[in-house]
Amino acid sequence: MSAVNNMTLPTPKVKAGEGRTRALWIYTAVTLVALAIAFAMELFYAGTDVQQGEVQRLFYIHMGSFFGAFLAFGTAVFAGVAYLRTRSVRWDVLALSCIEVGIVLAFLNLATGSVWARPIWNTWWTWDPRLTSAAVMELTYVAYLMLRRGIENPETRRRFASIYGILAFSTVLFTLLVTRIRPDTIHPVVIGSGPATNTEGGFAVTQGIGITLGVSIIVWMAFLTPVLIWWRIRLENLNERIAARKAQVQEA
């Protein structure tokens, strides 16, 4: 009897998949809290811009979504290089997930910019170098999805998609730097101190606006974008398992 009492019962092992799922749900919950804090700062902590008024608050989403897209597209470059070196499918899944999330965020960046431009520039769209380069960037990555759909052989599709994803990042870099290298742009250069110069719609980055802008960008890059990519990876893995099961049933 004492021998039985002294026995230590084995602790049940947690499967790796279950551990990742639990971590993802925790990360998602933290992301929602971080987003709530960022939105509260944007609405209540940051002051109203004296030049633009309330519409300036769109810039927190506008810039957050752009830098989130920048992170997603940049990670796709890393994943593409890793796939070309290892030929591991998981890197291709990561690249695809990053680019799909990046496309959504880049579209949100264009949409919020268009809404902002209507009261500031009195137009929904103008062929400014920054706006044009952002549109070209978006279309370039949409073409990535079309490329994948146009190649049937899985290995060839992954290889060409990886190369395309690496080269497409040049449009991201140009969009990021165009306001610095093109003097004729009317897009405000927000990163910096003081009011933007030679622009229509520039605003002064005061302490409240600057801190809120920094927090917003961190939330989009450190929380929202990674968690969206993680969920997209899970969905892609689920699609792969379903496709494999269908193939087994058809062969049976």
Residue closest to 93 by CA, chosen among 240, 242, 226: 240
Single-letter amino acid code for the residue at 198: N
SS3 53: strand
pLDDT higher than 60, residue 234: yes
pLDDT tens digits, 80-122: 999 999 999 999 999 999 999 999 999 999 999 889 888 888 8
Residue 146: what pLDDT?
96
pLDDT higher than 70, residue 160: yes
Single-letter amino acid code for the residue at 64: G
Helices 154-181 and 89-121 sit at what angle, rounded to 10 degrees?
30
pLDDT higher than 50, residue 239: yes
Mean pLDDT, residues 40-47 taken together: 88
Q: Which residues contact 240 (CB under 8 A, 6 or more apart)?
A: 93
pLDDT tens digits, 200-220: 455 556 678 889 999 999 999
Residue 205: what pLDDT?
63
pLDDT higher than 60, residue 196: no
CB 67 within 8 A of CB 172: no
Question: Which H or E run contains 168?
Answer: helix 154-181
> In the chain, what percentage of residues exceed pLDDT 70?
84
CB 68 within 8 A of CB 238: no
pTM for this structure? 0.84
Single-letter amino acid code for the residue at 124: W
